[in-house]
């Protein structure tokens, strides 16, 4: 029986063993239950270093700190003294076909050792060919051949850096005619073949669903929930004819609805708010991130009520 046709009690009893046995801590996120975090961004450096605000954890863009010295590493080390940090990358390009630059991977591994990040995340995309880099997150054709290539590259990086990897679904604005799979089927196949985790970006699910006309709730229902190690939430821009992933707005109600459904399916899980442009004060970003607790409490309260009856 579909979940929406079950009573609340039946649904939550079904989730009981799943929540307790599989999530939020799992082998794909280094057995972590981090809570609610935000991205470490330059406009907030001074506030963080001087005020030491109460925050569960930070996410960093790996490439910003893969350097030999300077202010970024000085700040990072100070942050590491007080907060857990998880590394999020933008240049591993799991869907590309060029051999990996081992010098780049060595720098990434050195940063992994510095931060003690429990797991590493990057995007399910391509962005380089013949040694040239687009510096963009481009969609992969959803084919069986691409699944195999992508999974092999994820395993290669995971074995090199010796940390679990979670791959993030991207926002997209075009589809390939040669695709054989839906996006959620492709994500699921890659995760299974690579035996990796998923960084589920619910804003990207909403953006892609709006741009391509699929049901975002079907997407959430059909991916392997036990592999989700982290969730991203963010704002986007409505361009009237399409949605653009801009990370410069508060999270909209439709994305919060997807977040709530995700928590309903998998339980409370490491959650990160991305805000990367037109960045407001630290307190405003943190306040927006903490809205996630409203939806977590709503689901956990319903779970407690249903299982107690």
Domain boundaries, the chain: 3-308
| Contacts of 287 by beta carbon, 8 Å cutoff, 6+ apart | none
Indicate whether 11 pLDDT > 70: no
Indicate whether 165 pLDDT > 60: yes
Give the whole-angstrom CA distance, residue 222 versus residue 202: 14
pLDDT band at 133 (very low <50, low <70, confident <90, very high): low
**CATH fold for the domain made of 3-308:** TIM Barrel (3.20.20)
Q: What is the pLDDT of residues 18-74, one digit of tens each?
A: 555 545 689 999 999 999 999 999 999 999 999 999 999 999 999 999 999 999 999
Indicate whether 3 pLDDT > 50: no
Least trusted range by pLDDT, from 118-132, 203-217, 222-236, 251-265: 118-132
Least trusted range by pLDDT, from 126-130, 182-186, 211-215: 126-130
**What pTM was estimated for this model as a whole?**
0.92
């Amino acid at each position: 029986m579909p979940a929406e046709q079950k009573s609340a009690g039946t649904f939550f009893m079904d989730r009981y063993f799943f929540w307790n046995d599989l999530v939020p801590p799992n082998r794909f996120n280094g057995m972590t239950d981090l809570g609610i975090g935000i991205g470490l961004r330059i406009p907030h450096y001074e506030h963080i270093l001087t005020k030491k605000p109460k925050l569960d954890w930070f996410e960093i863009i790996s490439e910003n700190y893969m350097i030999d010295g300077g202010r970024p590493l000085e700040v990072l080390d100070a942050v590491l003294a007080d907060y857990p940090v998880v590394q999020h990358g933008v240049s591993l390009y799991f869907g590309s076909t060029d051999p990996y630059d081992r010098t780049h991977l060595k720098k990434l591994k050195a940063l992994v050792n510095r931060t003690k990040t429990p797991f590493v995340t990057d995007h399910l995309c391509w962005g380089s060919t013949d040694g040239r880099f687009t510096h963009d997150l481009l969609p992969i054709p959803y084919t069986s051949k691409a699944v195999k290539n992508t999974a092999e590259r994820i395993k290669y990086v995971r074995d090199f850096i010796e940390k679990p990897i979670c791959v993030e679904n991207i926002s997209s604005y075009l589809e390939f005619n040669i695709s054989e799979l839906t996006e959620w089927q492709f994500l699921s196949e890659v995760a299974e073949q690579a035996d990796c985790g998923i960084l589920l970006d619910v804003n990207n699910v909403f953006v892609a669903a709006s741009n391509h006309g699929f049901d975002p709730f079907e997407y959430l229902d059909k991916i392997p929930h036990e592999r989700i190690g982290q969730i991203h939430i963010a704002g986007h821009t409505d361009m009237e004819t399409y949605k653009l992933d801009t990370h410069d707005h508060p999270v909209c109600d439709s994305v919060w609805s997807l977040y709530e459904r995700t928590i309903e399916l998998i339980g409370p899980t490491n959650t990160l708010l991305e805000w990367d442009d037109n960045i407001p004060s630290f307190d405003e970003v943190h306040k927006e991130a903490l809205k996630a607790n409203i939806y977590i409490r709503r689901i956990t309260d319903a779970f407690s009520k249903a299982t107690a009856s």
